Amino acid sequence: DIQMTQSPSTLSASVGDRVTITCRASQSVSYWLAWYQQKPGKAPNLLIYKASSLESGVPSRFSGSGSGTEFTLTISSLQPDDFATYYCQQYNPYSPPLTFGGGTKVEIK
Amino acid sequence: QVQLVESGGGVVQPGRSLRLSCAASTSAFRSDAMHWVRQAPGKGLQWVAVISYDGTNKYYADSVKGRFTISRDNSKNTVYLQMNSLRFEDTAIYYCARDRGILGWNPWGQGTLVTVSS
């Protein structure tokens, strides 16, 4: 099984900060990497697919990069609405099980 | 725009069964694989099962293999998760999600809570 490791698990930041979250895969997932935002009591919301493609309707301050085993999610200027938990996911249909990272909680500093 | 609504959650004793449903708002979902994902209280996301667009291919997480069965009825725009031999550790919010291939999984339903308790 492919293991997805996110770091950090918790991140304290201020409005306006540039924030970077890292996700590492135990083996290559090529570009089959997605990022989700989840707020308490809500379903996950797709932000980034194919490692770096922005989902329609998602603010452009979110960006993704990487391929193979190392990926990053960057929020260029943190906004109040961005305080949430973020998950990476490998969704290569040829490599089940489809796994998520452990999550990164972005908190107000 | 496809919307997904889960139902069927509730409180159930260990060893009993429950069937979850995920209803899509349009028939557009018939061309897509569908997933079930769960989230235990205060924990992260765990993929549970996937079914191909036509129901011929199904895959499961090891933790539910042999106990859970995913199915779909495209005439009713609905995906199901039959959960048998439930355990305490199956307690979670269960979400369904539409698989758009390389475009990722979107949308997700709002989730339905399953509580396994004696």
* pLDDT tens for each residue of B16-36: 999 999 999 998 889 999 999
Confidence band, pLDDT 50/70/90 cuts, at residue B1 = confident
Average of per-residue pLDDT values in chain B? 96
B104/A46 touch (CB, cutoff 8 Å), yes or no: yes
Phi, psi for residue B84 in degrees, rounded to 5: -110, 165
pLDDT of residue B28: 86
Mean predicted confidence (pLDDT) in B97-107? 95
Residue of B38, B39, B45, B65 to mutate when probing chain A, most A C-beta within 10 A: B45
DSSP state of B25: S
Mean pLDDT of B71-88: 97
HEC string of A11-77 equals EEECCCCCEEEEEEECCCCCCCEEEEEECCCCCCEEEEECCCEECCCCCCCEEEEEECCEEEEEECC
pLDDT number for residue A94:
77
The minimum CA-CA distance between A78 and chain B, rounded to whole Å, is: 23
Q: List per-block mean pLDDT (blocks of 10 residues) for chain A, which spans 109 residues.
A: 96 97 96 97 98 98 97 97 97 87 95
Sign for the CA dihedral angle at A102, A103, A107, B4 comes to negative
- All residues of chain B having their beta carbon less than 8 Å from the beta carbon of residue A99 are 47
